[in-house]
Amino acid sequence: MSAAPETLAECAAALRAGAVTAVELLERSRARIAALDPQVNAFLSRTDDLADRAAVEADRLLSAGTPGLPALCGVPVAVKDVLCVEGAETTAGSLILRGFRPPYTATAVQRLLDAGAVLVGKTNCDEFAMGSSNENSAYGPVRNPWDLGRVPGGSSGGSAAAVAARMVPLSLGTDTGGSIRQPAALCGVVGFKPTYGRVSRYGLIAFASSLDQVGPFALSVEDAATCFAAVAGHDPLDGTSSPTSVEDPLGGLREGVDGLRLGVPHEYFGEGLDPGVRAAVEGALEVLRSLGATLEEVSLPTTDAALSTYYVIAPAECSSNLARYDGIRFGMREDRGSLLETYLRTRDAGFGAEVKRRIMLGTYALSSGYYDAYYRKAQKVRTLIADEFSRVFERVDAIVSPTSPVPAFPLGAHSDPLSMYLLDVLTVPVNLAGLPGVSVPCGLVDGLPVGLQVVAPRFLDARALRIAHAYEQATGWRTLRPASVEAVAP
């Protein structure tokens, strides 16, 4: 089946042409998971009954020639295991939620299901989405399909790896400080973090509520835009959901970049940037220039403060959100007699080292006598960061930069938490400002993918996708496949 459809667009076209059925696409997805996932570990669970029913229903609608069917109808998808699916085990990569089966489905997932998508399963992730390598999962690390000895990035590593290995053409992840864009860059796929509030967070197991955002991984920018169009929009169940109308991300996707002004922040090309990554991204910038864009160096001086700001705000919100996991209401329980002892034992056994570290950091930042010195001050700096982006966007239409300062690194290479945190330096500011950002493949370094990041002003998600699409179509990086995919072709 070397000519089998792989992208969402290819699957949709094949389904409508009668060249393949939704059941056949589902079985192909399952065959690839069976062949590759023992090595990659991208999936934590399968939703077989739900998938079977959805595939049969999609084939019924397609065979009847039902008009107006969404492009997602009959297409296999996967979702990160922090997104609730009614009746399906949802662990957030943690032991403390082992066996938890939510009584509701996340709005973003439900919108995929309503569009006829076939949910294959739940993907592995860093525990409670806390990590940049997917090594913090209680169920083992995800391995990068490009090199099984390397990380896929995190925290949405399972969702990125599943798409990179062609197990599914599309998946959902979440991005709190770069957890969609960074693994997309390291796995050589497209990853899109929408404007904060643009996609509902209802049914998402929260890490940091003012930063978390749901978004897609895909094999092309068009596919990511198609998925975004399906899940975006106001949701009354989510108090952080924006009521502003959603600009059609597909309508202007092919308008190109001719005449656009693109800002290149010099702080994003400083110390710590891998020379190969620098060369690949500089090559991508020249492609954009050749397409008619004007490149202009800009400055974001608060970049150096963004990491420390993020690592006060995010752990503080994590400390508050994770207080509910006490062994009483849901998930695992270490029953040790007294209520207090049950709390302590359950949280000690259920949470991993990184989650405990962030809970302690956040609790300290929120504690009496330290709230003003840390959390309140961090929120003020966050406002400065957002204002700085706004001033830059008065001069340019979008910002372009590397997504990750380094390509995929070996498993276990960053045992020091601080060295791992530093890898978020190019993505964290975008979350603090609530901006849309997309990572698109732009080259290889020693056979490993590199990502180009495009950042647009708030609610101009379509502009970020348009620029990424223009670059993607002018290059051939989207056609590259990891060796693991070539070795197995069910």
pLDDT score for 2: 44
- Percent of the chain residues past pLDDT 70, beyond the cut: 99
Which amino acid, residue 396?
V
Interval 377-399 mean pLDDT:
98
Set 155, 156, 220, 319: catalytic member: 155
Q: What is the pLDDT of residues 7-60, one digit of tens each?
A: 999 999 999 999 999 999 999 999 999 999 999 999 999 999 999 999 999 999
Query: 191 — phi, psi (to 5°)?
Result: -135, 130
The pTM is what?
0.96
Known catalytic residue at 179: yes
Distance CA 198, CA 210 (A): 13
**Per-domain boundaries in the chain:** 8-300+387-487
- For residue 393, pLDDT over 70 is answered with yes
Whether 398 has a pLDDT exceeding 60, the answer reads yes
- Per-residue pLDDT, averaged over 78-100, amounts to 97
Flag whether pLDDT at 1 surpasses 70. no
Mean pLDDT over 296-304 rounds to: 96
Considering the segment(s) 8-300+387-487 as one domain, its CATH architecture is Alpha-Beta Complex (3.90)
Catalytic residue among 132, 133, 171, 179: 179
Distant-in-sequence, close-in-space partners of 361: CB < 8 Å, separation ≥ 6: 311, 312, 315, 316, 319
Residue 159 a catalytic site member: no
Sign of dihedral through CA atoms 251, 255, 259, 261? positive
> What pLDDT shows up at residue 489?
58
Q: Which of 29, 80, 122, 220 is catalytic?
A: 80
Asked if residue 3 has pLDDT above 80, the reply is no
Using the predicted structure, report yes or no on whether residue 368 has a pLDDT greater than 90.
no
Specify the range with the lowest mean pLDDT, choosing from 168-177, 362-371, 372-381.
362-371
Backbone angles phi, psi at 49, to 5 degrees: -65, -45
Nearest Cα to Cα of residue 75 among 198, 289, 218, 209: 218
Question: How many whole angstroms separate alpha carbon 373 and alpha carbon 219?
Answer: 44
132 is catalytic: no
